[in-house]
Structure 1
């Protein structure tokens, strides 16, 4: 067995569920151990993959460039992504893109607690690229399938440790995420119908 570290799977998740994923944890005390967010459907995520419409970019940095991007999924829910000097490629994409534009983002989930005690969830991008509508549509189908699979595992009689953790940490109806998946798929059918 090689000891080469493998990259975590980038989870496909809709914004409604991602924005509810406020609980983070590590699986070891090592300083470099990955930080995971716990999805409310009971899966850990160290990386995520989202595709949506970039609707707005803004340099929110005070001393240096720090770009914020708003990416909207088919349900109208928003992912926020932030890139600065440590993500130069992603920051330059956010600087140069003209919204609206379909984009694919792979990145790390990050949580931030506000002064009011609310937890905001965002993406620290590893990569941002423009994609076409067909790519966005394929992502929607895949994200819906993964969401339904997570919900089925969440409702299983013998849940794994992450599902048990989600039951303990969140008091959120997973039915909301099933509805988000169905709604996203319906939006694809509606756009196909209106295109014909």
Structure 2
């Protein structure tokens, strides 16, 4: 009896790392096998969970509705998401929401190579829901912790014992993971600044 496929864990990631995650791969030749993006901190992601400020929505479709949404994280970095006829619930939310609004999004990473060879990374949302500031704040703290944990594991790996995804990331990306440590710390600091009602820098 075939095993029931389980849904992949949705990874928490800040936009700066997500937008750098341009390498995709499958782990089997099955055409229905999940496609993963490789996070530069050494973890695979088939689904992501993000919370931030929806700052803009636009119907960019030509023949039918195709909604683009921009969600900004505490560092000011942007997640782009696109929803059309195959994501009717998400498209409906993007049509109805009035920016700015805090939103929680679960979706699948998608990559697209432009004519000049750049790889753009976006989210195809499975669900979008409006949330409150406390939910956004919890996501920031949890995402910072997960990011720092991944960086710690990345830094701790050595040659023979290296985790396969850490090894893959070190081969595929020439990106200092220190960038993502700064993003995690910066997000936490921005949260503390908001909680002190300090003016934004």
Give 5+ residue unaligned stretches, structure 2.
Answer: none
Matched with 2:102 is 102
The aligned residue for residue 93 of structure 2 is: 93
1-structure distance, mates of 2:92, 2:175: 37
Runs of 4+ in 1 over 4 A off after TM superposition: none
- Among 176, 193, 197, the alignment partner of 1:194 is 197
Distance 2:24 2:106 in 1: 18
| Residue number in structure 2 paired with 1:161 | 164
Q: TM-score, normalised to structure 1's length?
A: 0.98
Structure 1 residues 3-32: Cα deviation after superposition (integer angstroms, max 9, x where no partner): 111110000000000000000000000000
Q: After TM superposition, list the pairs within 5 Å mapping 1:133-172 onto structure 2.
A: 133-156=133-156, 157=158, 158-172=161-175
Report if aligned partners of 1:153, 1:159 keep a CA contact under 8 Å in 2.
no
Q: Structure 1: state its 5+ residue gaps.
A: none
Q: C-alpha deviations, 1:98-139, integer Å up to 9, x for none?
A: 000000000000000000000000000000000000000000
Tell me how many residue pairs correspond in the alignment.
195
Return the alpha-carbon distance in structure 2 between the equivalents of residues 2 and 176 of structure 1: 42
CA shift, 1:159, in A, is 2.1
TM-score of the aligned structures, taking structure 2 as reference length: 0.95
Question: Cα distance, 1:90 vs. partner?
Answer: 0.1
